[in-house]
């Protein structure tokens, strides 16, 4: 009798797992972006321009990128 844990039906392709995670992360990002844009519009705030959502997001991303790189580099 064949052990069920070693059959090819139970083996998950690592690439398909990574792909599924990327799709899932992409869906989460889409939802978050939609929510931010919706709230910004509902509150009558600017999406672009001085002090707008895009400027604030860009600033935060650029500020956090070096911290993430240092953390990855140092472990």
Q: Are 48 and 54 in contact (CB under 8 A)?
A: yes
Q: At a CB cut-off of 8 Å and minimum separation 6, what does 10 contact? A: 4
Q: What is the pLDDT of residue 14?
A: 62
pLDDT-derived band of residue 67, with 50, 70 and 90 as boundaries? confident
* Cβ neighbours, 10 Å, residue 40: 16
CA distance 64 to 30: 20
Considering Cα of 42, then 48, then 54, then 60, what sign does the dihedral take? negative
Judge whether residue 23 has pLDDT over 60.
yes
What is the number of H-type helices and E-type strands within the chain?
Answer: 2, 0
Q: Which 8-state DSSP code applies to residue 3? A: -
């Amino acid at each position: 009798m064949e052990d069920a844990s070693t059959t090819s039906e139970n083996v998950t392709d690592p690439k398909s797992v990574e792909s599924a995670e990327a799709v899932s992360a992409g869906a989460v990002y889409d939802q978050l972006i939609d929510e931010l844009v919706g709230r910004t519009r509902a509150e009558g705030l600017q999406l672009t321009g001085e002090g707008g959502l895009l400027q604030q997001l860009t600033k935060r991303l650029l500020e956090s990128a070096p911290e993430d790189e240092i953390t990855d580099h140092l472990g």
